Structure 1
Amino acid sequence: MAPARDSSSKTAATLGVLRDALMVVANVADGGISVPFVKGSAQIAIQLIDAAQVVKSNKDDCRDVAQRAAETMLGLAKTLTRLDPECDKLSDELKIQLEEFQIKLNDIRQVMQDLADRGRLRRFVKRNVDQGTIAGWKTYLDDARRQFVESSLIDIVVGQVEIIKKLDILESGIQNTNMSALTQDQIMESPLLSRTIPAKPAVFLGRDQDIEKALNTLTSQIDPQAHLAVLGPGGMGKTSFALTLLHHPTIKDHFKQHVYFVPCESANSCDQLLFYITSVLAIKKQDGEDILTSMDTFLRRGPRLLVVLDNFETPYDQKGSNQNIVDVLGRISSVRQVSLVVTMRGTIAPMGMSQVKIIKLGSLNPEASKQAFLAISPETEEQNALEELLEEVDHIPLAVTLIANLAKLDSVESLLQEWREKKTALLADGSNRLNNIEVSIGLSLKVKAIQEAPDALSLLALISYLPDGILMAQETLEAKTPHMKARKQALRALRQVALIQEHEGSINVLSPIRHYICKQHPLGQIHRQAIETYYTVLISKYDWDYKTAKPQISPPSSRTAATLGLQLWIS
């Protein structure tokens, strides 16, 4: 089995390098390649790689298709840079062929995305049909490579650009492209970096007080430069909150059309963050200036505006120093006519923002949760089962949305039974954080604070292992975790990323997180033994009357009875 895993890992790494190379092609295409399809096709190939990385059926074949598409696209880009610069136009025949290639590539991407989003049953039923489809893709891409890259069909002029040098570097295994090396004229407009804001969420309920607080903060006449940090665990609807704000009549009246939404989920460096911000705000680098100076001048000379930096944890929590990110945030937030809204996973606002107000989003209240569900799936009738199901997922907005969409195809009672059997796997058929709750939780575990705290996952596993969490945490945490030497650092990290809930001295986790951690990161034997020893000693100090032990152990119930298999206590 080991060679297969090694091969799969190597393929994933290869696709990562190819993806970075395609990003370079897309970003510098305007700098010298006067062929419109190059930019679009590179972006499609990137999306194809992303989809291939998350498909669950015919995975190796799908990755092979993505690799062939990327290599064909990159080979084509190299060919374009090496041809005779005396010619300046594509032949009509080649234009048609390139357009057809882009259309076919997009068709493959769309079907690949459908494969990634399929549920288990549909994957099983369609597996053999999909294999035939994928084989056809491979044949087409091999033919396209021979046609465009290995033949002499292309008669196109291109200017002198840096693609060849950058691709050679990337193909040697260097993946961290310096985006600041690209001039503004070389920036390609990605569809994800639009200068118009995304649509308002179709369903957004239960946040009226928080929205009102945000509106008062951003439109205050007393404190006109206040900024906002929208914080919370993954799946709480921070992005939806920001978009609801941007579309609110009060915001439109206050900022007019000068509102901007910058998605930061893929901004893995300070250079990329600057690239995203300047692209969305249409900031051009001026002659004789660096991009930071041009951005500062643009903001100070412009009208009052509102900028949302969504999923800001991606650039902010990168490994190593984030001082450059902090400096950029400080520059923007110091401009008097700029208001910032930053959304990010966690409980602490990022450094660099002055006069920042904080809004922490948690689970919906039961009534709002129910109304949100019914807004998506209005035909639902089993009210008792619905309330129980929503309680099972702790009224987390993302979980409510996913279950409501499933309820269009199945009964609530059936979904409740399936949740009890599958837990978070029921909500894991999508390919990204917005339609797969396991992906959303997994992203929180990749945050730098968690990765750098040696005992963070072990402590989270322990809290998840105990159905009632850790009671009287301040007094008992050390005794329950004798082998966790970095427990304090671990606890701070879990707080920072909002993976735990604290109430009246107790520490617990939300239901989907608990089930996911128990499945993916089970408690180690050494910690299991330590907690069993703790409770065994504790029980021996009390009479068998459970009421005596109430401060430490909850009364017998189906949940607590499962704790560590201490059935002796209630036998």
Structure 2
Amino acid sequence: MAGCFLWPRRRVTSKAKNRIEVHVVDASSLSDGENLRMPTTAMYSISGGKALAEAIEGVADLVPLPFLSTFVRMAIKVLEACEETTAIEENLEDLQSRVYNLMLVVVDTVPINKKTSLELQDKISKLQAILDNILADVRKIKEQRKWLLFFFRDLNKERVGRCVDRLDGALQQFNARLSPGRESASQLTRIEDAVNRTTRPHNAPSAHTRQDMPPLARKLYGRESLINEIATLLASEDTSRVCITGAGGMGKTSVALAVVDSPAIKNAFPKEFIFWVPCVEAKSSDLLRRILYAQLRVTAETYDSLETLIAELDVTKQRRLILLDNFETPWLRLSVEEQSKVADILLCLAKLSHIALLVTMTSGFTPDGIEWEHRPLSPLDSEAASAAFKSRYRDAARGHELVVDGPQLEDFLTSIGRIPLAITLAATSGGHLRASPSDLLQDWSRSGTGMMSEKETAGMNRTIRLSLDNSSVKANPEALKLLAILSLLPAGTTGSNLDLWAATLDPPSGAAETLLAAALIEQGEGSFGTARIFVHPTIQSYMLHHGHLSLEIRNAVYDACYSFILDHKSTPDDRKFKSDLKALAVEEINIQGLLMETDVRNPRPKAIDALIAFALYQASTKPSTVVASHALKVAQTAHDTSHCEAARQLAEAHHCLGKTHLKLQRFEEASVHLEKARAQFKSLPGGADRTRSGECSLELLDAWMFSRTKDSNDMQSLAEEARTNLAHDTNDKYNTARGLHIYSSFLWWSNSPDEEVLLPLLSAKALFEELDCLASSAECLYLLARTCAGSAVDKAEQSGGLDILGRSLSYTVRCLIHLRCYEEVMGVITRLLPLEQAFGAPGGMAQAVELLGYTCVAIFDLAGARRAYDGALLHFSKMQPGVMSKEDVERCSLNLTKLQGRTMIDEDCFHTLAKPDPLD
């Protein structure tokens, strides 16, 4: 029987490739019948592992005989166990070869469409039993620890050798022979087809040039968790439809390639079942089909449909991964009709549940009918961007490190949007030149992407041009206009405010949808109306330096900005002031950026008025002299060139800058500009504006009172001038009330009798309340509270009643705390504490000391605060049970606990304290 089947000689294989290749003896030495039954080397060359198992399982399914399928699956288990046990590789490969050939011979021996004899079935069952025993031996070897394998290597070799001997003996008894004929040849052909389909996936030549998958990029900073997340999604059939989106240069392909190279993907998909499909040249549905056939290595008689390709993919359920890279080309840059055909192609692939799809594209507008897992790429965070820049810089500088770090590098990376491609190109260029971050930032501000060498610039610009060349963008002129408009807004805008900046577009939301699809703009979190719509800095730079921002569009944006500011110009006494502040705050960064671009020598109409109005808005919120100083510079130049209305605008600009300095408590600078404004309003070409001059006098008086640089006579004169000028028009109740209020403030400041202070103050309050002026009414009440509190204390002191004096002082302290006049509080408390101590009531003393503790925290006196709260707790403890407030003790204890262990007090600490009762 040995002559019926000769064992193949073993071929030492490369462990890296993990292949088992069967060699048979020269067929010329066999009989004709043996020639028909011997498998050839070409026919049965097969990759190991999972591919082998799938191929043989497919073969077993060709012959629907249960006993044969059971035998084949047992043989597979032995082969897989051998694959997993590599410590004594040489003997196991010998065993694998024998089991593999035994399997093929048995399958070849069983006739098709004929009744199988009981004798043959029995022999196959005996072979299966032997394989079962061999499997047990191999598993015992596998389960041994490594050191046992090392010390008992020879013993294990003997065990494998006995397995081989058992197979030899079994084969000598397996003497079933099949008569040579067409049926055997047919069966072997079917076996060959099944093996080829499963072990060499789509390995046919193609009419379209096949491209290799790009090499894996260098380390990707800041993307590690995202890569692992996507790999996990693809490994599961439930979430194996993933779309990576992002603007050009965000690193979509690099992330996708890193996903493919991740351990999770390698475990789920054999290397030969991962396919890269470059879609950047797929400018029609027909080209996309041809590229798919080429990259998946499938040939067909016609490429007009996907039938052959889908059938090839569906031959077995072996999982495959298809990476469709740069899918925006066939999806977003084609006509509606072609786009529909592309969607059909993708849907056909998606219907195969064992096919995982990974798509990269610039837009998240993916074809319907597929449940996608969208993973948009954002710019790198600060830490990752810095690490990526330094690494690339070091390589380009041939090992030299970036010398300057910190804020300068952060500023530069922020200016280029922390976009991976921009970081790579800028770092490469900077490394070649050994440039510092500040040098790079200057170059970026001056020339944008032109700061890079020609080769690198082409790379950055090409990604942007590809998006601009999108057919839907080119077919929509309004989309390009909106892109230009948004490129002028450094902070982007909300969807609801697109009408503000792009009023001529009808509607701007349609153009925005086109740009979002092309990834030329981004949408932040939230709904379209409230989310920020913005352009990345690299695209903004490209639009700026490549002639896409026409003078017409620029002027339209400037005019929209000026109109928006002036439409929301109001004072704190206007009912719409609060809503105006909110509206301006949403666009504050854009407005300031556009206003600072105002041409000093040739400002557009309304530009100076808008500059002044916006600077006054900032004075009411976050005072800054930047815009106010620019307003003065533009107004001064206009005045010097005899610009119409220039004299008034110059006076307004001086007033605006003076008021801003006053808010910043720069009293000397405030006085200079307010005095100039006051003088210019008095000498306007068309006649003096007494009201505006009176307003300047009002604020100048504030600056003098705070700085204490003028004598009382000068201040008295200025106060009377301010009241007179503001009240010169008896029909103007509002400004009459303002004159009365500022005069009352001066009287209070100069320690005039309370009756003199209260008389004009109450008149001003009544007028403001009649006019429903909330802010000015509040100011009157503020001054009234301070005046009345002081008056109450004076009268109580004159009366000699200690009880009423103590209560007056206590409530004065509380009023001053409400007004945040903490320095004044300390003066009143020094009068209150001795009085409470002399009075002898522990409750009054406890409350007074608690007020002292709270005030000490407000002025950052940590030691004083601790002593005061300790004292307050002591005095609260002296009160009789039932009288002492549990809440008072808990409040003081809580505040004292917050102060323990601290070395200093700051604003945050102060705001966490519980306020004394009844201040809450």
With the length of structure 2 as denominator, give the TM-score of the two structures.
Answer: 0.39
**Which of 304, 307, 314 is matched with 1:293 structurally?**
307
1:366 corresponds to: 382
2:504 corresponds to: 483
Q: Partner of 2:322: helix, strand, or coil?
A: strand
Larger helix percent: 2
The alignment status of 1:317 with 2:332, answered yes or no, reads: yes
The AA in structure 1 aligned to 2:481 is: S
From the superposition, tell whether residues 479 and 431 of structure 1 become closer, same or farther in structure 2 (CA, over 3 Å). Answer: closer
Question: Structure 2 CA distance, aligned partners of 1:290 and 1:347?
Answer: 28
1:430 corresponds to: 455
1:239 corresponds to: 253
From the superposition, tell whether residues 355 and 428 of structure 1 become closer, same or farther in structure 2 (CA, over 3 Å). Answer: farther
**Which of 343, 366, 389 is matched with 1:326 structurally?**
343
Question: Structure 1 CA distance, aligned partners of 2:240 and 2:482?
Answer: 37
Question: Structure 2 CA distance, aligned partners of 1:309 and 1:473?
Answer: 32
Question: Structure 2 CA distance, aligned partners of 1:424 and 1:544?
Answer: 44
Identify which of structures 1 and 2 has the higher relative contact order when contacts are C-alpha pairs closer than 8 Å and 6+ apart.
1
- Give the total of aligned pairs: 376
What whole-Å deviation, never above 9, does each CA across 1:71-94 have from its counterpart, x for those lacking one? xxxxxxxxxxxxxxxxxxxxxxxx
The alignment status of 1:409 with 2:441, answered yes or no, reads: no
1:187 corresponds to: 207
CA contact (8 A) 1:539 1:549 kept: no
How much does 1:485 deviate?
2.2
Gapped runs of 5+ residues in structure 1?
1-183
1:340 corresponds to: 357
Q: Partner of 2:477: helix, strand, or coil?
A: coil
Q: Partner of 2:432: helix, strand, or coil?
A: coil
How much does 1:564 deviate?
5.6
From the superposition, tell whether residues 555 and 275 of structure 1 become closer, same or farther in structure 2 (CA, over 3 Å). Answer: closer
1:263 corresponds to: 278
CA contact (8 A) 1:463 1:508 kept: yes
2:815 corresponds to: none
Question: Structure 1 CA distance, aligned partners of 2:522 and 2:245?
Answer: 14
The alignment status of 1:218 with 2:250, answered yes or no, reads: no
Q: Partner of 2:588: helix, strand, or coil?
A: coil
What whole-Å deviation, never above 9, does each CA across 1:16-40 have from its counterpart, x for those lacking one? xxxxxxxxxxxxxxxxxxxxxxxxx
2:371 corresponds to: 355
From the superposition, tell whether residues 323 and 188 of structure 1 become closer, same or farther in structure 2 (CA, over 3 Å). Answer: closer
How much does 1:290 deviate?
6.2
CA contact (8 A) 2:484 2:553 kept: no
CA contact (8 A) 1:364 1:397 kept: yes
**Which of 585, 596, 601 is matched with 1:562 structurally?**
596
How much does 1:339 deviate?
0.4
How much does 1:556 deviate?
9.8
Q: Partner of 1:551: helix, strand, or coil?
A: helix
How much does 1:536 deviate?
2.7
The AA in structure 1 aligned to 2:264 is: T
Question: Structure 2 CA distance, aligned partners of 1:263 and 1:489?
Answer: 30
What whole-Å deviation, never above 9, does each CA across 1:221-275 have from its counterpart, x for those lacking one? xx44621111111110000011001111110111011111111111111121112
1:150 corresponds to: none
The alignment status of 1:202 with 2:218, answered yes or no, reads: yes
1:463 corresponds to: 486
1:393 corresponds to: 416
CA contact (8 A) 1:399 1:427 kept: no
What whole-Å deviation, never above 9, does each CA across 1:96-116 have from its counterpart, x for those lacking one? xxxxxxxxxxxxxxxxxxxxx
With the length of structure 1 as denominator, give the TM-score of the two structures.
Answer: 0.61
1:88 corresponds to: none
Question: Structure 1 CA distance, aligned partners of 2:330 and 2:343?
Answer: 10
Question: Structure 2 CA distance, aligned partners of 1:556 and 1:348?
Answer: 29
CA contact (8 A) 1:431 1:439 kept: no
What whole-Å deviation, never above 9, does each CA across 1:422-448 have from its counterpart, x for those lacking one? 11222462279xx62111111111113
Gapped runs of 5+ residues in structure 2?
1-203, 395-400, 525-529, 600-606, 613-627, 632-920
Question: Structure 2 CA distance, aligned partners of 1:543 and 1:397?
Answer: 44
The alignment status of 1:535 with 2:552, answered yes or no, reads: no
1:78-89 correspondence to structure 2 within 5 Å: none
Question: Structure 1 CA distance, aligned partners of 2:268 and 2:454?
Answer: 41
Structural RMSD (CA) = 2.8
How much does 1:555 deviate?
6.5
Question: Structure 2 CA distance, aligned partners of 1:336 and 1:532?
Answer: 54
Question: Structure 1 CA distance, aligned partners of 2:594 and 2:553?
Answer: 19
How much does 1:213 deviate?
2.2
How much does 1:311 deviate?
0.4
Greater Rg over alpha carbons, structure: 2
**Which of 527, 545, 551 is matched with 2:583 structurally?**
551
The alignment status of 1:421 with 2:435, answered yes or no, reads: no
